[in-house]
Amino acid sequence: MRPKIILISALVLALAFDLGLAAATGGQDQTSAYPAQELLKLGHQRVFEGQSLKEIAFPLGGVGTGTVSLGGRGNLRDWEIFNRPDKGVNLPFTFFSLYFEEEGRKPLVRVLEGPLTPPFTGQDGIPRDGVPGLPRMETARFIGEYPFAQVELGDRKIPLQITLEAFNPFIPLKPEESGVPAVVFRYRIKNLSSRPVKITVAGSILNPVGFEGEGTIDSVGHPKFGANVNRVRKESGLSGLLMSSQKVKPESPSFGTVALTTTWKDITYLSHWVRGDWWDDLQIFWDDFRQDGRLKDLDDASPSPDGRTDIGTLGLLASLAPFEEVELPFILSWNFPNVLNYFDIIPARRGSVLKNHYAQQFADAWAAADYLARNLQPLEKETRKFKDAFFGSTLPAFVLDAVSSQAATIRTAACLWLADGSFFGFEGCDDQGGCCPLNCAHVWNYEQSLAFLFPTLEKSMRETDFLNNLKPDGAMAFRTSLPLDPKVLWDFRPAADGQMGRVINLYRDWQVSGDTSFLKRIWPKVRKALEYAWVQWDADRDGLLEGEQHNTYDIEFIGPNSMLSGFYLGALLAGQRMAEAVGDVDASREFRDVFDKGRRKYEELLWNGEYYVQKYDKVMEKKYQYGDGCLSDQLLGQWLGMVAGLGRFLPEDHIKTALGSIYHYNFLTDFSEHSNAQRTYALNDEKGLLTCSWPKGGRPPLPFPYSDEVWTGIEYQVASHLIYEDRLFEGLSIVKAARDRYDGWRRNPWDEIECGHHYVRAMSSWGLLLGLSGFEYSAPEMRMGFEPKVYPDDFRGFWCVGSGWGEYYQKAADKVQWVVGLKVISGDLSLKEFSFKLPAAAKLLRVTAGVGSLSLKAGVKVQGDRVTVSWPKPILLKAGEDLHLDVKLQ
Amino acid sequence: MRPKIILISALVLALAFDLGLAAATGGQDQTSAYPAQELLKLGHQRVFEGQSLKEIAFPLGGVGTGTVSLGGRGNLRDWEIFNRPDKGVNLPFTFFSLYFEEEGRKPLVRVLEGPLTPPFTGQDGIPRDGVPGLPRMETARFIGEYPFAQVELGDRKIPLQITLEAFNPFIPLKPEESGVPAVVFRYRIKNLSSRPVKITVAGSILNPVGFEGEGTIDSVGHPKFGANVNRVRKESGLSGLLMSSQKVKPESPSFGTVALTTTWKDITYLSHWVRGDWWDDLQIFWDDFRQDGRLKDLDDASPSPDGRTDIGTLGLLASLAPFEEVELPFILSWNFPNVLNYFDIIPARRGSVLKNHYAQQFADAWAAADYLARNLQPLEKETRKFKDAFFGSTLPAFVLDAVSSQAATIRTAACLWLADGSFFGFEGCDDQGGCCPLNCAHVWNYEQSLAFLFPTLEKSMRETDFLNNLKPDGAMAFRTSLPLDPKVLWDFRPAADGQMGRVINLYRDWQVSGDTSFLKRIWPKVRKALEYAWVQWDADRDGLLEGEQHNTYDIEFIGPNSMLSGFYLGALLAGQRMAEAVGDVDASREFRDVFDKGRRKYEELLWNGEYYVQKYDKVMEKKYQYGDGCLSDQLLGQWLGMVAGLGRFLPEDHIKTALGSIYHYNFLTDFSEHSNAQRTYALNDEKGLLTCSWPKGGRPPLPFPYSDEVWTGIEYQVASHLIYEDRLFEGLSIVKAARDRYDGWRRNPWDEIECGHHYVRAMSSWGLLLGLSGFEYSAPEMRMGFEPKVYPDDFRGFWCVGSGWGEYYQKAADKVQWVVGLKVISGDLSLKEFSFKLPAAAKLLRVTAGVGSLSLKAGVKVQGDRVTVSWPKPILLKAGEDLHLDVKLQ
């Protein structure tokens, strides 16, 4: 699927030149922080080794189930399956190990992890719970292609090729199938020796039931433990350990089960290690294991003594002929149905217990494992199709990394999916709890990944926004309190960006889903939310927001300003279009009027020739403003509009120039001279985009908090906007800078941090995919279009909308023959119009359309370099079908 | 003082060969884990750079005052001045910064620290309290020569040579002078530019009064803060900030003061930063500072609002002509008089408040700074003399490192020095508290550094052992409860090693001090303590301990065994000698009888031809024994005897052979195949000495805990014993292995870890100095002798005993002329006998002795290669005087 590497290298040079010139249409020339070759490089994802393995934590688990992360060394870390974020919590004595016996030689044993790395400074040496004293593999290499992670383990003394693959089902548009509380761990082991070998791969795991998900577990002893039961079950398709507790009551937040299972037949096990003094348990287990790779096959379901739990082990046995390969599968699954509301924005509501969605589907951890074992083939197949289509794109590898890694946030503990199907999210994860609660409108604004991958979950957030969180006067509570109740809302001023942004987001969701009936249902609320601007911020309806505008910087901007009024214009335009669609003629006209007025005033008042500013005369006295600053978020509303399908509503030349100014003034290629009294996300010789700068002076003595910071969520929106506007190398430079900071040594690539881990703002990165594909879609209008910004001669890209997902490709066979195609891989797609862009300076001679061997009669319209193919009646593309266009040029 | 490097290189090769052959007199050939050149390398201490700076924390502060540590980057960390260990506690916004203005150029500002290093994974980025967003110096290099630390800071844009030197007075035999709760920070700055420059070095510090010393301080806000007062004081010799709290009551454990002062005249200051919202405080301070390097000179002693404290800044201003150099001095001092007994071994006694010794000397932090400022010159001079004498030795650099770095433990929070002069120590420091309490006899047994450097403090521990902790039946409580009260003792079985070891330790202390009247005073108790063996472990008085012998491995060995009976033999011999000295003839005879019996039985029963073992027939069934194992501590009692001056009491050939076996069997040069279910202090490709091994089989299924671990305290005692017994390269290999593990990247060189940080067992490292010097001393007999194990042709070594300290040197002028000398640098020394060793194969022709220009008539005795010079009446060497011997050979 991917063009061969040898071709790419040649292409890169040609393209770098072409695209560089083609894109420099803004007010300034583009500058690039990296060589073009680096920015356009395709190919495999990064391989992490050595010190870069240290911070790797690749989240595994289903949507709404919490996660356990796979560390770079092949270790399991950050067990956040207990319904709250909890960075740093490990399950003691939970690890995979290998017994290896080459015929005629002394057996060897290894922990199946790469070596531990410094520091080794614990108060008692290296904490024992990670079995640091046992021999382990010499080397580890980690590759993540979300949702698949792979760890290759090597050791000079062990002639085996060992690869751990870990994943779980993750299928766009299928949240249920993507929401199984389980992980597949598959050890692919090949005998590289010329002798037969015997191996055991054993998974040991601590029964954690009773732990409340906060803080750490340091040993088998904990006051909440006791009466823990490990039961060995052997069923037709599945064997393993089911771990529970007789002490924890079913209604308790810590109630639940964990299972470690396998579909492998030849097993050995210990329901629990010896309950001894000192360190007898590990000593006896390890001595037993290393002797012959077989355990006692103990099946003792007696509960553990009070105050302590047990560790159990499941081993998979195999004999391998020389050069034979085997796959040894484990399934780790869990079930913790009760979600303690420890986090509510209304403190008095804390303490209630909510129910997880997944717990409705699965009675316990065993049931989840059983479901996964029975359905693994189709689930894995479709997950792989997604991964192959996505990573098979001709988008730069680091862009795919930025997009896919942040989509993982959907399934971290940053998000909740409750029994009634409602979906919620924190802004991110503090080390030991969600922060801040919940569905924060001004942060979630930026997020696009959920909206495109799982639009039904995104829709739940719109329902919460408009049907629950709107107060009688039209102000939207921009944080959600649980359980949902429109009469019990957070009592805080509304956020202008959050409130206006949600209207644009709704427009996007409507375009993605085509669900006009839903739009009609909530329209009165949407209108009220938008009109609230006239109550609070634009009483004179001149199209600019005035007064105090609370926003995502956690302060209020005062007076007309680029950022908030940009949001407002986008919301007005979205409102106008939606009003039209639902037949609300008055609203449509009024919104349009205000929009038109606003658009003019916005230019008159806020454009300074290089970028848009804030107009407020007390900017040097009043705290926390930006005035003449060049704000990276100044075009945020316009960007949301681009993503949503509203198109440009500000002048194109100003957009391009302003984006160029943002890049020029705010993108630092070195932080060593940067003075930042705020929080620090980029430093030393790192590169990054500042939230704001004052290139023309006028920096207030105390500008708004965060003004000197670097947020990936903003970086991706600006980068994607630059790319939309053909400032390709600038956009890609920003993305590469961000991903270079998250290099596994300095930070975890699957955990971008702002106010918390897995910060949802960074899900703006989906915009990169849209921007680089030049993607346009309207479900209501049944039209789709592409305009690839990279590799137009041989482009392949992933797309996903409400009804289906697949690939788009275009390829030049020669100078006059092109193939353009749209493949539906899952779901379906109804189209009345399809458009693409001609190569530079080419003229269309003829285009023929077909699906499979069937040719379709189509109308063809050419506007400039844009070709639109249309059908009087919609065509329906089903999964597996290609819309195929043969394009002849002259 | 130090031989020139060019000579050394030549010497090393010759010596390596000579010494290697000369020393291989044991049962096995020596093997070395490193090239001899590396093991004998002299010269400067390690320079830490880059990633090796990460774990550096060099403790600064007085004996018994707690410490603050200097990090490798020049940062302050681990503020343990609040009367308890607390690793990881930083004072927010506490840092030094530089304003730099080169004439005619734009000023630059820097935090005076090297760059931050990954990970950067905090939930909000890098924690703000360390001002990560401010520009800082590009490079840092750290060198520690305890008690002096030095950080060189560099930056391409700043043409200054900047060296921070930090230290405090630390003078052997002078605990009072070494016990000032203060640190000197001195910035030595040289202008390397050809233009005049203006600089300010500013120290900012948070007023921490109210903090209770447990956990962390993350910001100015904390419930215990409030009514904190920063007062600017300008006195004739001293100016700066005195920080206190009006909220904390004088009797509270958190009551106290901190001062940041200077003797520099040209200053600028802020008594407190602006008390603002958000991050106004740092923003305003930094913007003020960076503008012109001058602060507002705010002197506002109004208390801080409740729940928050203040940050103050003291800046030192200077103008430097081209190539001019300046020294800018700061004194940081503190006073927290009240020690909460949170730690008592008897839980019911916890909660009482004890008083620090230092708080009797100084009314508050200002008084301590004032004392130090007034007396800095003599105190620093004598501290430097100590450092120069010590680091000027011709001992391998890593040995000096091992000895000096662990002596720092004396002044960490592992030790307490109370108002009545009594001195106590934990085993080490857990992350947030001492562990385990207090004066643990079996751990402190190994410690030699305090005994030689501060024998009066060591004496306090003997008083506690024998006058307080002895129960009526003679059993010694091996942990101490406070306040001292012989009627309130810890109710736990006695430790055989602790109890016997303390008798040997007492003998050592008597030899070091010559304080026979003290010995007489406590003799009845000592006799009782020793005779308790006959009650508990050797009822048949056969000279071997039997039954259950609790010991430092926290379990009981059963039956006769090398380790405990070795202790017993040493104690009996020490007891016999001390009984003789105090005129207790019966005891002397009886101890000797039992000793003689025991010595024979020890050989008959426990020697296996290669090493000494445990004889117990249920070793495979009963848990936690060692049986036929080769225990690294098997000769511990004999080693304590060597250090104490008892000499060999086991057969020399067996000692040498057993030591060789310990090295051969227990020293691992790689841990990658080691299976250890216990705690981990060495791993991967590190080298280290195992506590035990079973080279001939017979490893019990559950051997004693710690058997598979690596403890530096044992490593140093074994290494030093190997060196005593001329197994030089083996001994040095062990030391180098340990110090290589503590390389600043993996572990902190000034914090060796066992059950806690700064573990006191590692103060066995003083034995290396004794062993390599071949040092012998008896104050009661007024004799001293040396027999250097390295560089005998040009040796220089440090010595310290109860009455004084100085240098020993011997040097070959040519093949027949030698100079041998003993220099007293501080205190004095009375001698009746002085001995040294002739070069190999040399015969003495003549020796003349003198002090200064005065020649002394002396008797000369030659026994083999050993020359003893003696005087009928003792000679008294005073500080500054040399005993000088001209030795003619034939």
A115 forms beta bridges with none
Peptide bond into B749 cis (omega under 30): no
A647 to chain B, any CB pair closer than 8 A? The answer is no
B1, pLDDT greater than 60:
no
Average pLDDT value for residue range B201-223: 95
Select the residue of A120, A124, A684 nearest B747 (Cβ to Cβ): A120
DSSP B252: S
Chain A residues within 8 A of B672 when measuring between CB atoms: 135, 138
CB contact set of A362 (below 8 Å; sequence gap of 6+): A180, A181, A335, A368, A371
Instruction: State which amino acid sits at residue A182.
Output: A
Across chain A, what does the average pLDDT equal? 95
3-state secondary structure of B165: strand
| pLDDT > 70 fraction of chain A, expressed in percent and rounded | 97
Peptide bond into A483 cis (omega under 30): yes
pLDDT digits (tens, 9 = 90+) for A778-788: 999 999 999 99
Average pLDDT value for residue range A870-879: 95
3-state secondary structure of B818: strand
Neighbours of A19 (CB within 10 A): 22
Q: Would you say A323 and A195 are in contact if contact means Cβ atoms under 8 Å apart? A: no
DSSP A466: I
- In 3D, which of A489, A802, A512, A843 has the Cα closest to residue A645? A512
Q: Between chains, do B123 and A429 touch, taking CB under 8 Å as contact?
A: yes
A286 to chain B, any CB pair closer than 8 A? The answer is yes
Distance CA B267, CA B260 (A): 12
Average pLDDT value for residue range A251-277: 97
Average pLDDT value for residue range B609-625: 97
Nearest residue in A to B276, CA atom: A702
Q: Between chains, do A678 and B435 touch, taking CB under 8 Å as contact?
A: no
- In 3D, which of A566, A567, A441, A426 has the Cα closest to residue A498? A441
Q: Mutation test of the interface with chain B: which of A274, A621, A684, choosing the one with the most B Cβ atoms within 10 A? A: A684
Nearest-Å Rg of the Cα atoms of chain A is 28
Partner B, chain A 411-450, Cβ-Cβ below 8 Å: 428-431, 435
Burial of B841 (0-12, 13-18, 19+ CB in 10 A): exposed
Chain A residues within 8 A of B673 when measuring between CB atoms: 135
- Residue A9: pLDDT band with limits 50, 70, 90: very low
Distance between A113 CA and the closest CA of chain B, angstroms? 13
* Helix (H), strand (E) at residue A429: strand A428-430
The CA distances from residue B565 to A561, B274, B652, in Å, are 85, 67, 17
Neighbours of A540 (CB within 10 A): 10
Q: What is the pLDDT of residue A11?
A: 38
Q: Would you say B833 and B879 are in contact if contact means Cβ atoms under 8 Å apart? A: no
B676 to chain A, any CB pair closer than 8 A? The answer is yes
Q: Between chains, do B118 and A676 touch, taking CB under 8 Å as contact?
A: no
- Residue A27: pLDDT band with limits 50, 70, 90: very low
Chain B residues within 8 A of A684 when measuring between CB atoms: 115-116
Q: What is the pLDDT of residue A625?
A: 98
- Residue B29: pLDDT band with limits 50, 70, 90: low
**Sheet with B311-320, side-by-side order of all strands:** B108-111, B95-102, B197-206, B311-320, B267-270
Residue B356 or residue B26, greater confidence:
B356
- Residue A741: pLDDT band with limits 50, 70, 90: very high
Q: Mutation test of the interface with chain B: which of A676, A747, A758, A759, choosing the one with the most B Cβ atoms within 10 A? A: A676
Q: What is the pLDDT of residue A694?
A: 98
Q: What is the pLDDT of residue A855?
A: 84
B657, pLDDT greater than 50:
yes
Q: Between chains, do B283 and A138 touch, taking CB under 8 Å as contact?
A: no
- Residue B21: pLDDT band with limits 50, 70, 90: very low
Instruction: State which amino acid sits at residue A613.
Output: V
Chain A residues within 8 A of B88 when measuring between CB atoms: none
Provide the H-helix boundaries in B466-619: 496-513, 516-536, 562-582, 585-606
In A712-842, the DSSP E strands lie at 776-778, 783-785, 794-801, 804-812, 817-837
Token representation of residue B607:
């020697």
Q: What is the pLDDT of residue A709?
A: 98
- Pick left, alpha or beta for residue A349 (phi over 0 → left; psi -120 to 50 → alpha; otherwise beta): alpha
pLDDT digits (tens, 9 = 90+) for A66-82: 999 999 999 999 999 99
- Residue B11: pLDDT band with limits 50, 70, 90: very low
DSSP labels, B150-217: EEEEE-TT--EEEEEEEE----TT-TTTT--SEEEEEEEEEE-SSS-EEEEEEEEEE--BTB-SSS--
A13, pLDDT greater than 60:
no
Distance CA B709, CA B692 (A): 8
Chain A residues within 8 A of B435 when measuring between CB atoms: 123
A48 to chain B, any CB pair closer than 8 A? The answer is no
| pLDDT > 90 fraction of chain B, expressed in percent and rounded | 94
- Residue B840: pLDDT band with limits 50, 70, 90: confident
Q: What is the pLDDT of residue B890?
A: 86
B13, pLDDT greater than 50:
no
Residue A12 or residue B525, greater confidence:
B525
**Strands A817-837 and A783-785, sheet pairing:** parallel
The CA distances from residue B196 to B105, B154, B318, B354, B567, in Å, are 11, 19, 11, 54, 67
Average pLDDT value for residue range B273-295: 97
Partner A, chain B 162-221, Cβ-Cβ below 8 Å: none
Q: Would you say B505 and B644 are in contact if contact means Cβ atoms under 8 Å apart? A: yes
**Strands A148-154 and A139-145, sheet pairing:** antiparallel
Average pLDDT value for residue range A713-739: 98
Q: Mutation test of the interface with chain B: which of A117, A671, A679, A755, choosing the one with the most B Cβ atoms within 10 A? A: A679
Instruction: State which amino acid sits at residue B393.
Output: S
Q: What is the pLDDT of residue A815?
A: 87
Average pLDDT value for residue range B59-68: 98
pLDDT digits (tens, 9 = 90+) for A547-587: 999 999 999 999 999 999 999 999 999 999 999 999 999 99
Total count of residues recorded for chain B: 890
- Residue A242: pLDDT band with limits 50, 70, 90: very high
Angle, alpha carbons B787-B791-B794 (nearest 5°) = 95
- In 3D, which of B382, B309, B314, B368 has the Cα closest to residue B337? B368
pTM for the model: 0.95
| pLDDT > 90 fraction of chain A, expressed in percent and rounded | 94
A310 CB-side CA count, 13 A: 27
Average pLDDT value for residue range A29-43: 91
Q: What is the pLDDT of residue A21?
A: 37
- In 3D, which of B319, B102, B292 has the Cα closest to residue B194? B102
Distance CA B325, CA B162 (A): 10
B748 to chain A, any CB pair closer than 8 A? The answer is yes
Distance CA B307, CA B369 (A): 28
Provide the H-helix boundaries in B701-765: 712-724, 728-741
Distance between A326 CA and the closest CA of chain B, angstroms? 26
Instruction: State which amino acid sits at residue B19.
Output: L
Across chain B, what does the average pLDDT equal? 95
Distance CA A231, CA A239 (A): 11
Partner A, chain B 583-642, Cβ-Cβ below 8 Å: 623-624
Q: Between chains, do B128 and A678 touch, taking CB under 8 Å as contact?
A: yes
CB contact set of B3 (below 8 Å; sequence gap of 6+): B11, B42, B394, B791, B794
Distance CA A51, CA A167 (A): 24
Q: Is the torsion defined by CA of B318, B323, B324, B330 positive or negative?
A: positive
Average pLDDT value for residue range B649-665: 98
Distance CA A263, CA A372 (A): 11
Average pLDDT value for residue range A493-509: 98
Q: Between chains, do A123 and B678 touch, taking CB under 8 Å as contact?
A: no
Chain B residues within 8 A of A55 when measuring between CB atoms: 118-119, 121
Distance CA B537, CA B517 (A): 30
The CA distances from residue B483 to B358, B488, B660, B704, B762, in Å, are 18, 9, 45, 34, 27
- Name residue, tokens 């390599």: B772
Q: What is the pLDDT of residue B28?
A: 52
Q: Would you say A389 and A403 are in contact if contact means Cβ atoms under 8 Å apart? A: no
- Give the A:B interface size as CB pairs under 8 Å: 192
Instruction: State which amino acid sits at residue B674.
Output: H
CA A179, chain centre distance (Å):
15
pLDDT digits (tens, 9 = 90+) for B227-260: 999 999 999 899 999 999 999 999 999 999 999 9
3-state secondary structure of B120: coil
- Residue A409: pLDDT band with limits 50, 70, 90: very high
Distance CA B318, CA B234 (A): 18
In B207-336, the DSSP E strands lie at 228-234, 239-245, 257-262, 267-270, 311-320, 325-335
Partner B, chain A 689-728, Cβ-Cβ below 8 Å: 701-702, 705, 708-709
Q: Is the torsion defined by CA of A118, A124, A129, A131 positive or negative?
A: positive
